[in-house]
Amino acid sequence: QVQLVESGGGLVQAGGSLRLSCAASGHSFFNYAMAWFRQAPGKEREFVAAVDWISRYAYHGDPVRGRFTISRDNAKDTMYLQMNSLNPEDTAVYFCAARPGSIATTANDYDDWGQGTQVTVSS
């Protein structure tokens, strides 16, 4: 089982940027797809972006496409989410997730989850 730890969240003004990190440990990272999800108060967990093991496929959800970029560094067992042009609707707890094999966009398809990091965007 993979242990995942998110970092990099915080408070930022609208239009600003943040970079989230997700460090993986406890298991071979080999052939794991990784993803970011987010959950705002009172809302369901929402897909943000996913990337496959060799970064051949990276997919971003509609609300963030063109503003956020997912990436990973397998040598460091770390995944990133560069978030630009943030707006208050991006305020949520951001979670990283992992699953063996190909990427998926549904939370139930992921086996391993981090504890989350809070991102708050002020207007």
- Range in 27-41, 54-68, 82-96 the model is least confident about: 27-41
**Residue partners of 102: CB distance under 8 A and separation at least 6:** 33, 52, 57
Kindly tell me if the per-residue pLDDT of 1 is higher than 80: no
**Separation between Cα atoms, residue 111 and residue 123, nearest integer Å:** 35
Read off the amino acid at residue 31: N
- pLDDT band at residue 7 using 50, 70 and 90 as cut-offs: very high
- pLDDT band at residue 60 using 50, 70 and 90 as cut-offs: very high
Residue % of the chain over a pLDDT of 70: 99
